[in-house]
Chains A and B, each alone.
Chain A
Amino acid sequence: MYGYAGKQLRVYLDKKEIKAEDIDFDVMRKYLGGAGLCAKILYEELEKGVDPLSPENKLMFATSPLTSNRIPGGGSVILCFKSPLTNAWGESRCGGDFGPDLRKAGFDFVIIEGKAEEPVFIVINNGDVEFKPAGHLLGKTTSEKLSMIRNELNDRKISVMCIGPGGENLVKYATVMFDQRAAGRCGVGAVMGSKNLIAVAVKGSKEIKAAQPEKLKDAISDAMAVLRESEMAAGFKEHGTTGDMAPNDAAGDWPTKNWQSNHWGKAEKMYDDFFDKYLIKNHGCYRGCPIACGRIAEVKEGKFKTPVHEGSEYESLSAFTAFVLNDNLEAAIHATYLCNEYGIDTISAGAVIAFAMECYENGFIKQKDVGGMDLSWGSPDVLPELVRLISSREGIGDVLAEGVKIAAKKLGKGAEKYAVHGKGLEAPAHDPRSGKTLAVAYGTANRGCCHIHPLEAMAYDSGKLDWGMVKFGVPDPNEVDRWDEKGKGKMVKILQDGLVLPDILSTCKFFNYSGITLDHHAEMLSAMTGWEIDGFELMKIGERVINLQRMFNMREGFDREDDMIHERMKKLPAFGIYKDESRCGISDYEAMLDEYYDARGWDKKTGKPLKEKLAELEIEQVRA
């Protein structure tokens, strides 16, 4: 047996029982692993309409043959579930050693079912699984839990993923943390909390065999050579994603004041301050990462002081600065540190607070509703306090913990215009007014309005990256105007098919920005599994997976109407350097979506994959 550990683990929390099942290699060839295998299992095993916070929901942890510390980008794990935030396909990635260590523990996939009677954590150790009481862990921050679990297991290095108070309190955008990295989006932490599963620890010594070890060695060597020459990789190491604050602001790719603008002008100074005063060093999330994009920072003193910690990436800091019009960087660093400690998504939290500030400005939230706090735009002091209230569902926190879509319904008619989301997932810190490809990517991503699962479209339009995909039909981005609308729908189809592969392979997507292509992945995958697989077959698998996730959503009642983007993303910005740039508004989104559906082989009215497309992709489980 090559490439895979060979087993998937089912955990029945209600009975505290497990079942180790052999994996089916024919299925693996079609779906590979990660978000691909999860799409197949969850589509087949979840009933339509299941309540995501009920015992009937299932939570999967998934890897692939490339999830390994020795493979460039191999330190990652993908979590899939039905999302309590969106009621759609839920998918969340976490960088770190958990994925590789799960395979060393003997399992390629874990499927968590049911609900434990009392809070538990599970320990997977070389094929054995123990259920341990977790009552004493409740209410603790994620770093406290990690420390307590490692002490209890007498193992200072064991890989642990855990929820924080946010997940315990079923905050709809609660996270699952691996140390200070997050499986951030879609509320996976609430799913774990609803199952009374507080943490999962994994360790083992299983060695996964490669079918062609020499070929694998060469393939890894080729990939490493590319990384060594890559300016992107060097940029990630020195500046992290945070280094994109100033360029994105300048490009009109910085949603500001709850999407009223796409530019603020303050990113440059804030990033320079971050780099000079608060950044300590870079950090790799998994042992052996050759890029190591993480930021270790500290606010040494003052009311926003933090310990030395990892965080402060682009999305997190942008959500607590530009979104909420806050230019106090220390408050932003502190608030995002708290999000990690309490276990809630920094992007959704910042977006919800921006929404709350706009509601406050317009009378939907009164000062008495927030215990006398002043939620004026840019107020730094309210940021950590709101994070606390949301995580504990106290006061206004109980409404805000539902996410902007539901919070808007609760706050009253008219508030929905301030709720910027797609399918219920709060929009992240990238703006389609900087490049129109992102409009289609935002509208059609299966987990909701997402900038990276599967496609970071502005990297194409502004960044001029093609990810080696010109050979699969994507136009050279240097020949494409970022503000053109025609042609974008068609290219998003191809880009999504390709860029979903790291989510299927559970490998870090930043490696693909640094020059690793589908051909590199195919070479490594062939060497691991013994299959003869190439980039074209990987594209087909990507297309299959996206269509199956789409069918999951359609079964839950989503259709073309839900593939919309918020009005604010289409309008010219209210202020900033692009306010008079007529090219940056989106003039005909429907036409872009039509073009996308056409390229996808989906029904123009509903967006449903046509029978012929499902047959072509051999998606038999879907009775069209």
Chain B
Amino acid sequence: MKIKVKLYTILKKYGKDMVDKDKNMSIPSNLTLKGLMSRLEIPKKMGKVLLVNGFPQDIEYELHEGDEVKILSFIGGG
């Protein structure tokens, strides 16, 4: 299934091979945000905010077709 993924500032590099320039990404169904971050190889021990369609969700959230995911991390910490 297809979702959109926007990665911010210091996270940009993690999406290079899997997210195209229009932010599209193909994922298997039943993937959670936790699984998505694993696929993108984003380090676990890093403060992050995850927004899906503009709203904060926790890592167990199961993704749906067309979801727009934003993954943001902090530079100054928070």
Q: Which residues of A contact B (CB under 8 A)?
A: 231-232, 234-236, 238-241, 243-244, 246-248, 250-253, 265, 268, 314, 430, 434-435, 456, 458-465, 477-478, 510, 513, 577-578, 581
Q: Contact between A463 and B74 (Cβ–Cβ < 8 Å)?
A: yes
Q: Which of B44, B72, B73, B77 has the most CB of A within 10 A?
A: B77
If the complex has contacts A251-B49, A462-B47, are A243 and B75 also in contact, measured as CB distance less than 8 A?
yes
User: Are A235 and B9 in contact (CB-based, < 8 A)?
Assistant: yes
Output the least CB separation between A575 and chain B (Å): 13
Contact status of A478 and B45, CB under 8 A, knowing A247-B8, A250-B56, A577-B54: yes
Chain A residues with CB under 8 A of B72: 246-247, 250-251
Q: Mark B26-59, 1 if CB is under 8 A from A, else 0.
A: 0000000000000000001111010100111000
Residues of B within 8 A of A (CB): 8-10, 44-47, 49, 51, 54-56, 70, 72-78
**Which residue of chain A has the shortest Cβ distance to B6 in the bound complex?**
A268
Q: Are A462 and B49 in contact (CB under 8 A)?
A: yes
CA distance A478 to B70 in the complex (A): 20
Instruction: Flag if B70 contacts A463 (CB, 8 Å).
Output: no
Q: Which 5 interchain pairs have the tightest Cβ spacing? A: A459-B77, A458-B78, A463-B77, A463-B78, A462-B78
For the A-B complex with A430-B78, A458-B78 known, give 20 more contacts whose Cβ atoms are closer than 8 Å: A235-B10, A238-B10, A241-B75, A243-B10, A243-B75, A244-B75, A244-B78, A246-B8, A246-B72, A247-B49, A250-B56, A434-B78, A459-B76, A463-B77, A465-B47, A465-B78, A478-B45, A513-B77, A577-B54, A581-B56
Contacts known (A462-B47, A463-B47); A314 close to B76, Cβ less than 8 A: yes
Bound CA–CA A434/B49 (angstroms): 11
Contacts of A238 in B (CB 8 A): 9-10
The number of A-B residue pairs with CB atoms under 8 Å apart is 96
A250 surroundings in chain B (CB, below 8 A):
49, 51, 56, 70, 72
Are the CB atoms of A456 and B78 closer together than 8 Å?
A: yes
Say whether A239 contacts B75, CB under 8 Å.
Answer: yes
Chain B's nearest CB lies how many Å from the CB of A311? 16
Q: Hey, which chain B residues are within 8 Å of A510, CB to CB? A: 76
- On chain A, the residues within 8 Å of B47 by CB distance are 459, 462-465, 477
Q: Select B74's contact among A234, A247, A252, A265, beta carbons within 8 Å.
A: A247
From B51, B73, B77, B78, residue with most partner A Cβ within 10 Å: B78
Chain B residue contacts of A459, Cβ below 8 A: 47, 74, 76-78
Give the complex CA separation of A430 and B77 in angstroms: 11
A513 → chain B closest CB, angstroms: 5
Q: How far is the CB of B43 from chain A (nearest CB, A)?
A: 9
Interface centre among A268, A459, A463 (most CB of B within 10 A): A463
Which A residues are in CB contact (< 8 Å) with B78?
244, 248, 251, 253, 430, 434-435, 456, 458-463, 465
Q: How far is the CA of A577 from the CA of B76 in the complex (A)?
A: 22
| A247 contacts across to B, CB distance below 8 A | 8-9, 49, 72-74
- A456 to B70 Cα, complex, angstroms: 24
Interface centre among B9, B10, B72 (most CB of A within 10 A): B9
Whether the pair A456, B56 counts as a contact (CB closer than 8 A) is no
**Which of chain B's residues have a CB closer than 8 A to the CB of A265?**
54
Chain B residues within an 8 Å CB radius of A246: 8-9, 72
CA distance A75 to B75 in the complex (A): 20
CB distance from B65 to the nearest CB of A (A): 22
Residues of A near B49 (CB, < 8 A) are: 247, 250-251, 462
Q: How far is the CA of A248 from the CA of B77 in the complex (A)?
A: 10
Q: How far is the CA of A245 from the CA of B67 in the complex (A)?
A: 23
With A and B bound together, what is the CA distance between A463 and B72 in angstroms?
10
- Closest chain B residue to A509 by CB distance? B76
Task: List B contacts of A581 (CB < 8 A).
Answer: 56
Output the least CB separation between A370 and chain B (Å): 35
Residues of B within 8 A of A253 (CB): 78
A231-B45 in contact (CB<8A) = no
User: Can you pick out 5 interface pairs between chain A and chain B where the beta carbons lie within 8 Å of each other?
Assistant: A232-B10, A234-B10, A250-B51, A251-B72, A510-B76
The contact of A462 among B9, B44, B51, B74, by CB within 8 Å, is B74
The complex places the Cα of A3 from the Cα of B78 at a distance, in Å, of 34
Write out the residue numbers on chain A whose beta carbons fall within 8 Å of the beta carbon of B76: 236, 241, 244, 314, 456, 459, 463, 510, 513
CA of A199 to CA of B73, assembled, Å: 40
In the assembled complex, the Cα of A251 lies from the Cα of B57 at a distance in Å of 11
Instruction: Tell me if A458 and B9 are in contact (CB < 8 A).
Output: no
In the complex, the answer to whether B10 meets A231 with C-beta atoms within 8 Å is yes
Question: Which chain B positions have C-beta within 8 A of A463?
Answer: 47, 74, 76-78
**A476 nearest in chain B by CB position:** B45
Chain B, residue nearest A233 (CB) = B75
Residue on B with the closest CB to A461?
B78
Contacts of A268 in B (CB 8 A): 70
- Once the chains are docked, how many angstroms separate the CA of A241 from the CA of B75? 7
Q: In whole angstroms, what is the CA distance A464 to B47 when docked?
A: 5
Residue of A nearest to B43 (CB): A231
Point out the residues of chain B lying under 8 angstroms from A578, CB to CB. 56
B73 contacts across to A, CB distance below 8 A:
247
* B45 contact set on A, CB distance < 8 A: 464, 478
